[in-house]
Amino acid sequence: MTSLEINAAPGWVADAIFYQIFPDRFCNGDKSNDLVDVASWGDRPTRDNFFGGDLQGVLDKLDYLNELGVNAIYLNPIFQAHTNHRYDTTDYFKVDPALGNLELLKDLVKQAHQRGMHVIFDGVFNHCGDGFAPFLDVMEKGASSEYADWFLALDYPLRKEPLNFLTCGGCTYLPKLNYAHRPVREFVLKVARYWLEETEMDGWRLDVPFKIPVDFWHEFRKVVKAVNPQAYLVGEIWREAQPWVNNGVFDGVTNYRLRDILLDYVWTNVLDGEDFGYELQTLMSQHGIAVESMLNLLDSHDTPRILTTLKGEERLLQIALTLQMTLPGAPMVYYGDEVGLLGETDPDCRRCFPWNESQWNWQIVDSIRGLIALRKAHPAFKHGRPQTLDAFNGVYAYRQAYQNDEALVIINPRETIPMMRIQTRSQVRCWRAYNGDKQYPVQDGNILLDEVPACSALILLPVESV
């Protein structure tokens, strides 16, 4: 394999619509593997309770996801662990029994592939759980353990009170792995290779990769791409992505920076339309060739739900969704957002999916379905780059174009702007709203809007392409 092949992002990611699933809260498809003290579905989530969601539940809902328009699934951790979030891995080579088993996981990936979907797993490699066999051995034998160098201790025996070994974020149940010790690296590379080969899954979302030496991730990439050159590697990065995507490390990152500027524009009013355009263009420039393989999210299991952040303002949600679905980078829907699920920060953002359709917000369902279908039908949204057309107070207008496909997007999260003229920078003579009949003829290279309504998002397509 050439270095060009190793560094190339998977071609399928630009066309992906991701759906993030927190397995314990999505769907309970097999009650026989429920824990003894499982909570009633829909009860208030805590940091400790389990609800019985499992891989069979995901498998059962693949057709639902297909109808929504999803074609890529990101699974939060599924390996054996003690907690409901499973970021405390105790066995890296075993599916958690409360979720299912290896054969079920392989079937899930296979059936997803048959529907044209890709599946990526969550790799938690900075730290393990305190039930991980090598850590237990060190707890028992101290410095004489053959695994003593796998961890970083001040002295022995290991103690949680006061804590004398390095952990993730000071959590006593999350011992940090020592990447200066070669056997640790070999172990993690073996794990990465095993799941790719055994299940034929499609890549890794990598937890807190900035806590691990970057040279390891170069090794990791080579191993993964040697198994599957089209495997997607996306790092959980909350701030600047440039060092991770422009230096042959990851294909993309969790695009929290885009989320930040989007919320500062749509919600907090820190940015007006002109500011947002500047920040957006700057961010796109920083991401370079990785723009199309970024993972564009509005929320996740680590943040409040987007509709909660927006205080239930559905018009603002429509704006946020419009931006997410019309900008380059793979959009990711956090499970339940499409039906209007609410939730403050962890653990409230990890509520059970309400499968009773009478509880769904159908306006949001229809909106997300429509925007996903629109994105899939128009290469301009996937492969184009936003070209600023105009900005006036709260309004920001941009053009997306790729080959013979193009669209205009006009966003206004603030007050109504009357009588606005927007230059199209296009040869198209007439435009029409993608979800309506109103036409906008072009005069002297401009379209004239009687007004740009408050809290509105307008997507225009050439009349001949509608």
Where does a domain end: 377, 398, 413?
377
**Residues 459, 440 contacting (CB under 8 angstroms):** no
Q: How many CB atoms lie within 10 A of CB 430?
A: 14
Q: Provide mean pLDDT across the span 267-295.
A: 97
**Least confident range of 164-173, 237-246, 336-345:** 237-246
- Does a structural domain hold residue 189? yes
**According to the model, what pLDDT value does residue 387 have?**
97
Domain of 423 in residue numbering reads as 387-465
Same domain, 313 and 448: no
Q: For residue 141, is it within any domain? A: no
Give the tokens for residue 72. 């890529």
Whether 122 shows a pLDDT value over 70: the answer reads yes
Per-residue confidence at 466, pLDDT binned at 50, 70, 90?
very low
Active site residues: 207, 236
End position of a domain, from candidates 351, 377, 403: 377
373, 392: one domain: no
Cα 216 vs. chain centroid, distance in angstroms? 23
pLDDT digits over 402-428, tens only?
A: 999 999 999 999 999 999 999 999 999
| Whether 271 and 397 share a structural domain | no
Say whether both 357 and 397 belong to one domain: no
Query: In this structure, what CATH number is given to the domain that contains residue 455?
Result: 2.60.40.1180
Express as a percent the part of the chain with pLDDT over 70. 98
Flag whether 66 is in a domain.
yes
In Å, what is the CA distance from 387 to each residue of 79, 352, 397, 408? 43, 40, 9, 9
- Report the CATH number at residue 70: 3.20.20.80
Please tell me the total count of domains within the chain.
Answer: 2
Are 372 and 427 members of one domain?
Answer: no
pLDDT tens digits, one per residue of 153-164? 999 999 999 999
**Does residue 50 surpass a pLDDT of 90?**
yes
Considering the domain boundaries, does residue 88 fall inside one? yes
Q: Both tokens of residue 40? A: 């009633």
Looking at the predicted structure, is the pLDDT value of residue 123 above 60? Answer: yes
The pLDDT, as a whole number, for residue 248 is: 85
Residue 64, CA distances (Å) to 24, 112, 355, 403 in order: 18, 12, 11, 33
Q: In this model, does residue 313 exceed pLDDT 70?
A: yes
Q: Is 327 in the same domain as 402?
A: no
81-96 as b/e, with b when 16 or more CB fall inside 10 Å? bebbbbbbbbebeebb
Q: Say if 148 falls within a structural domain.
A: no
> Residue 294 — pLDDT band, cuts 50, 70, 90?
very high
Q: For position 247, what pLDDT does the model report? A: 82
What is the per-residue pLDDT across 334-355, written as a single tens digit (0 to 9) for each? 999 999 999 999 999 999 999 9
pLDDT exceeds 70 at position 4? no
CB 445 within 8 A of CB 307: no
Does the N-terminal peptide bond of residue 229 adopt cis geometry, omega within 30 degrees of 0?
no
CA dihedral (233, 236, 242, 248) in degrees, to 10, reads: -20
Instruction: Give the tens place of pLDDT for each residue, 352-377.
Output: 999 999 999 999 999 999 999 999 99
pLDDT band at 246 (very low <50, low <70, confident <90, very high): confident
40 shares its domain with 96 = yes
Residue linked to tokens 């009478």:
358
d(CA 73, CA 94): 20
In a domain, 407, yes or no: yes
Model-level pTM greater than 0.75?
yes
Kindly state whether residue 94 falls inside one of the protein's structural domains.
yes
Residue 6 confidence (pLDDT)? 56
The Cα-based distances of 305 to 26, 150, 170 in angstroms read 15, 37, 26
Residues 370, 391: one domain? Answer: no
- Do 64 and 20 lie in one domain? The reply is yes
pLDDT of residue 2: 54
| pLDDT at position 276 | 98
Asked if residues 342 and 307 have their Cβ atoms less than 8 Å apart, the reply is yes
Sign of CA dihedral 258, 291, 232, 113: positive
At 90 the pLDDT is: 98
Furthest CA-CA distance within the chain: 81
274 and 392, same structural domain? no
79 & 22 share domain: yes
| pLDDT value of residue 70 | 98
The pLDDT-based confidence of 109 (bands split at 50, 70, 90) is very high
Question: In this structure, is residue 352 part of a structural domain?
Answer: yes
Q: Among the three residues 377, 409, 437, which one is the final residue of a domain in this structure?
A: 377
Residues 292 and 399 occupy one common structural domain: no
Average pLDDT score over the chain: 96
- Give mean pLDDT, residues 8-15: 93
Q: Is the predicted pLDDT of residue 9 greater than 90, yes or no?
A: no
